[in-house]
A and B are shown apart, each in its own frame.
Chain A
Amino acid sequence: KNEVEQSPQNLTAQEGEFITINCSYSVGISALHWLQQHPGGGIVSLFMLSSGKKKHGRLIATINIQEKHSSLHITASHPRDSAVYICAALNSGGSNYKLTFGKGTLLTVNP
């Protein structure tokens, strides 16, 4: 059983829509990462957060440590946002440099 669960697995939206991708985790964490993987395969780090909320352009990430839940929001979605979005939990403890990854959410934004 994966310790990091994402929903939905697949998401199709129309350009301009507000997008929410959810991530739940069962392990204790020191931080949670959101990553973006484009069809070409390259992986880019979007956010790393351990509490509260972060915003970068049209992307917003939130985390609730008590509920073990994080969300990634995309406002005014655009076809170029089409990608796989992956959340990854950074395990807390003495060795806080191991990430447990979710399976990803495939987002398709249609024009």
Chain B
Amino acid sequence: NAGVTQTPKFRILKIGQSMTLQCTQDMNHNYMYWYRQDPGMGLKLIYYSVGAGITDKGEVPNGYNVSRSTTEDFPLRLELAAPSQTSVYFCASSAQTIEYNEQFFGPGTRLTVL
């Protein structure tokens, strides 16, 4: 199994451009998450999904959109990139049971908005 994969690894955007960060997992996990990590700060949850067709906002959703049409894929969309969105983005997934909820992280996407 590849686990959680993310593309691209790096990207530079100009202010106002849009892009989609891709995330795919092959573990048949129902739950998927998008986080951003800023220097010196803890990870912040942007959006999450508890299954195909279901998404919800996390702590810092402004400026982002997500969709979950399949169990495997959970893309994150930036519509109008702003310098404040310069960050490292991590996608994660987990199998939700009452007893067990380990998260598996992708390798991250480093995004710079200039």
Contact = CB atoms under 8 A, between A and B. Distances in A.
A14 interface: no
Nearest to B58: A98
B101 A103 contact: no
Interface string A78-111: 0000000010101000001111111110000000
Nearest to A43: B105
Interface of B: 31, 40-45, 48, 50, 58, 88, 90, 92, 94, 96, 100-105, 107-108, 110
A48 B102 contact: yes
A45 B104 contact: yes
Contacts, number: 51
17 contacts: A4-B42, A35-B105, A41-B88, A41-B107, A42-B107, A43-B90, A45-B102, A45-B104, A48-B102, A97-B31, A97-B48, A97-B94, A98-B45, A98-B58, A99-B45, A101-B44, A102-B42
A8 to B, nearest CB: 15
B42 A98 contact: no
Given A90-B101, A96-B101, A97-B101, A42 B42 contact: no
B75 to A, nearest CB: 20
A31 interface: yes
